[in-house]
């Protein structure tokens, strides 16, 4: 029985998880934000002040897990008609994961909730499960998208970690837990020297663990346009060339290709080059099928980036793709024409005894004996399916290698923006508002910036002004942001927002912040792909406004690229002519001229080029320095 002394009543006025039904634009997004950023675990939905229904953290998790089309509001819920701590304690005793129960009046008005402080560990677990389930749904959809789009033949192998873990004895699980606890400088991954000897088996030699540790430290991934690769390494354990691990027994003249995509188990993270799954499979192919097949290892450390390569690889109908995914990815559809088979590899781990000798701390952190058994299973499958004997087509478009796209926006970007929208109160309204966006550095904020915003605001119902957050300018972001906010405070339906990590930043378009040193403008597509595919789609932005740029080659190239890419996402690019200072013909207003005038202490020019709010702010800054 729950201790009544731990319970307390939270009044309706102090609750942050109550939403009026007609004001909810997107119920799953509202609930997700509430559960991740608020303390509540139940969303209370009212209709003209009366409690209409609820949505719990469990409801939302099931919605993601089952990939439902609509999140249903629960109309059948437990409630109290008065603040009765004894009845609440009885309810909580039977509902271990719930920590609040609503109290409503006879007229169905929400008075508040009886609640208690849940253990932080349990709450963190619930939030982690919710985040993982949501990411699972996304990765599962991406897997289906790839299989339905590629022309290659696809085999999918699942490595369900939880299932493999359950198959172990408690003693085996406890041993792996203990290794994790003692992992550190003294025990790398928590293994003693004797345990490493068992892991390496016949391949063990003095110093091999330190060698692997040193070389692994050199394998930090490089990500460009969202696509990961690995640096060049030429060591005793690891060889990486052209961004990927070498399969040393690959025939150089093989005309057929087989690709492995997946996490560290496919990469062979804790094994030598001649101990990976691709290596053992290549051996089988070389021995039994001549030297016609080339096995290409596209495995990477960690599951979160390993599928970006599939979408950016040039593949044809002649290629075979083998994908490894974890138990947290949704299963593919059974109707996919390019999917040759899907197989659960968990039973393979039950055949190996004692399994802990072959693992480090985690089922997929395994040694070469496990890799060999997996390669044998894959070989049997592709032989049984008869796809090794298919003739290579050299005619028609299907035979030409082709990539699905040349960039990739991974889940971490989408997850970042979910937090970003919640933090700044952004959402996609369903009221038919026409929305536009301006992205500005404002170094400092001038009359030209003000003019562009006024012109843009006159063409839309709501305008977002994203101020570049990267601190690579003469004026710090906090100062630039305040100047913009003060400079447009009188304009209705204009929202000034920090641009964040992925809207015109060094991670998406580094050259923007190095204009003085740029000779050749490089690719800035990724920045605009993120804006179109994520930001504009999520917020319903239909227009992006830019100022005409006659002088700066980087900004001019960026504007032209914008016109090419953003219409693909239903975003029209509107270029606004520059406003003149009015003193002489061709005398444009620019932040560069303002900075020069400030250096020369030419306040007359500053006042001519900047709005009064900026002039006042700049003078305060100068006075503060003095």
**pLDDT tens digits along 181-209:** 888 877 888 999 999 999 999 999 999 99
**pLDDT tens digits along 412-451:** 999 999 999 989 988 877 677 899 999 999 989 999 999 9
Q: Other CB atoms closer than 10 Å to residue 425's CB: what's the count?
A: 9
Helix (H, G, I), strand (E, B) or coil at 261: strand
Helix (H, G, I), strand (E, B) or coil at 104: strand
Check: CB of residue 526 under 8 Å from CB of residue 312: no
**pLDDT tens digits along 551-609:** 677 888 889 999 999 999 999 999 998 877 655 545 678 888 999 999 999 999 999 99
The mean pLDDT of 131-149, rounded to a whole number, is: 90
Model pLDDT, residue 585 = 47
Model pLDDT, residue 366 = 93
Domain 4-127 has CATH 3.10.580.10: yes
**Percent of the chain surpassing pLDDT 70:** 94
**pLDDT tens digits along 289-319:** 988 999 999 999 887 787 889 999 999 999 9
Beta-strand relationship, 100-104 and 110-115: antiparallel
- Angle (CA) 525 591 468, round 5°: 40
Q: How far apart are CA 75 and CA 328, in angstroms?
A: 30
Model pLDDT, residue 517 = 64
Helix (H, G, I), strand (E, B) or coil at 207: coil
Which H, E and C letters describe 46-85, residue by residue?
Answer: EECCEEEEEEEHHHHHHHHHCCCCCCCCECCCCCECCCCH
Torsion-angle region of 165 (φ positive above 0: left; ψ -120 to 50: alpha; else: beta): alpha
Model pLDDT, residue 392 = 63
Check: CB of residue 190 under 8 Å from CB of residue 216: no
Given a cut of 80, whether residue 124 has pLDDT beyond it is yes
Model pLDDT, residue 40 = 77
Helix (H, G, I), strand (E, B) or coil at 560: helix
Given a cut of 70, whether residue 238 has pLDDT beyond it is yes
Q: What are the residue ranges of helices labelled H in 338-446?
A: 346-350, 368-385, 411-424
CATH of 412-625, one of 3.40.50.11810, 3.40.50.620, 3.30.43.10, 3.30.70.330: 3.40.50.620
Given a cut of 70, whether residue 328 has pLDDT beyond it is no
Q: What are the residue ranges of helices labelled H in 364-446?
A: 368-385, 411-424
**pLDDT tens digits along 246-271:** 999 999 999 999 999 999 999 999 99
From 29, 34, 77, 31, select the one nearest 53 (Cα to Cα): 77
Model pLDDT, residue 581 = 64
From 42, 8, 41, select the one nearest 115 (Cα to Cα): 8
Model pLDDT, residue 609 = 93
- Could you tell me how far CA 465 lies from the centroid of its own chain? 24
What is the per-residue DSSP string for 141-199?
Answer: HHHHHHHHH--SEEEEEEE-HHHHHHHS-HHHHHHHHHHHHH-SSSSGGG--HHHHHHH
**pLDDT tens digits along 150-171:** 999 999 999 888 889 899 999 9
Write out the residue limits of the CATH 3.40.50.620 domain(s) in the chain: 412-625
Write out the residue limits of the CATH 3.10.580.10 domain(s) in the chain: 4-127
Given a cut of 60, whether residue 384 has pLDDT beyond it is yes
Given a cut of 70, whether residue 466 has pLDDT beyond it is yes
Model pLDDT, residue 556 = 85
**pLDDT tens digits along 478-529:** 999 999 999 999 999 999 999 999 998 888 877 777 666 666 667 789 999 9
- How would you class 273 by CB atoms within 10 Å of its CB: exposed for 0-12, middle for 13-18, buried for 19 or more? buried
Model pLDDT, residue 215 = 94
**pLDDT tens digits along 38-49:** 777 899 999 988
Find the radius of gyration of the CA atoms of the chain: 29
């Amino acid at each position: 029985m729950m201790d009544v002394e731990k319970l307390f009543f939270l009044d309706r006025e102090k609750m942050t998880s109550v939403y009026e039904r007609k004001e909810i634009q997107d119920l799953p997004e509202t609930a997700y934000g509430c559960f991740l950023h608020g303390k509540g675990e139940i969303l209370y939905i009212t209709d003209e002040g009366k409690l209409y229904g609820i949505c719990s953290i469990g409801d939302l998790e099931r919605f993601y897990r089952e990939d439902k089309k609509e999140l249903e509001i629960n109309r059948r819920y437990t409630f109290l008609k008065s603040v009765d701590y004894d009845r609440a304690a009885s309810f909580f005793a039977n509902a271990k994961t719930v920590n609040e129960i609503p109290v409503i009046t006879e007229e169905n008005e929400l008075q508040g909730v009886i609640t208690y402080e849940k253990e932080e560990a349990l709450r963190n677990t619930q939030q982690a499960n919710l985040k993982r389930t949501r990411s699972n749904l996304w990765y599962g959809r991406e897997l289906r998208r790839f299989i339905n789009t590629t022309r290659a033949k696809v085999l999918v192998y699942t490595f369900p970690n939880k299932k493999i873990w359950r198959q172990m004895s408690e003693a085996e699980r406890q041993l792996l837990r203990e290794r994790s606890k003692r992992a550190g400088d003294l025990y790398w991954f928590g293994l003693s020297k004797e345990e490493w000897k068992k892991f390496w088996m016949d391949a063990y030699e003095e110093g091999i663990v330190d060698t692997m540790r040193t070389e692994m430290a050199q394998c930090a991934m490089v990500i460009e346009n969202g696509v990961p690769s690995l640096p060049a390494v030429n060591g005793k354990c690891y060889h990486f060339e052209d961004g990927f691990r070498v399969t040393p027994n690959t025939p150089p003249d093989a005309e057929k290709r087989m690709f492995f995509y997946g996490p560290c188990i496919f990469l062979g993270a804790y094994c030598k080059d001649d101990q990976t799954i691709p290596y053992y499979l290549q051996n089988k192919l070389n021995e039994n099928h001549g030297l016609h097949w080339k096995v290409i290892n596209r495995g990477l450390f960690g599951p979160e980036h390993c599928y970006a390569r599939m979408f950016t690889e040039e593949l044809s109908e002649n290629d075979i793709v083998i994908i490894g995914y974890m138990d947290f990815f949704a299963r593919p559809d059974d109707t996919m024409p390019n999917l040759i088979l899907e197989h659960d590899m968990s039973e393979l781990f039950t055949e190996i005894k004692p399994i802990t000798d072959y693992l480090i701390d985690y089922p997929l952190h395994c040694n070469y004996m496990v890799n060999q058994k997996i390669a044998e299973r894959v070989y049997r499958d592709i032989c049984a399916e008869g796809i090794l004997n298919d003739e290579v087509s050299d005619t028609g478009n299907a035979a030409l290698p082709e990539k699905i796209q040349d960039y990739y926006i991974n889940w971490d970007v989408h997850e970042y923006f979910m937090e970003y929208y919640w933090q700044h109160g952004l959402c996609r309204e369903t009221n038919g508002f026409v929305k536009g966006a301006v992205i500005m550095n404002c170094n400092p904020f001038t009359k030209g910036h003000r003019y562009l915003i006024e012109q843009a605001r006159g063409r839309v119902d709501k305008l977002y002004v994203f101020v570049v957050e990267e601190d690579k300018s003469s004026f710090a972001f906090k100062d630039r942001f305040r100047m913009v906010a003060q400079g447009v405070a009188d304009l209705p339906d204009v929202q000034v927002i920090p641009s964040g990590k992925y809207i015109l930043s060094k991670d998406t378009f580094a050259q923007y912040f190095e204009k003085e040193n740029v000779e050749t403008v490089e690719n800035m597509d990724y920045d605009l792909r993120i804006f179109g595919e994520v930001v504009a789609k999520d917020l319903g932005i239909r227009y992006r406004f830019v100022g005409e740029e006659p002088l700066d080659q980087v900004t001019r190239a960026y504007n032209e690229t914008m016109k090419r890419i953003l219409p693909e996402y239903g975003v029209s690019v509107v270029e606004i002519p520059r406003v003149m200072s009015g003193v002489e013909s061709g005398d444009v207003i620019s932040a560069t001229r303002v900075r020069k005038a400030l250096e020369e202490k030419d306040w007359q020019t500053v006042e001519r080029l900047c709005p009064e709010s900026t002039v006042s702010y700049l003078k305060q800054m100068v006075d503060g320095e003095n």
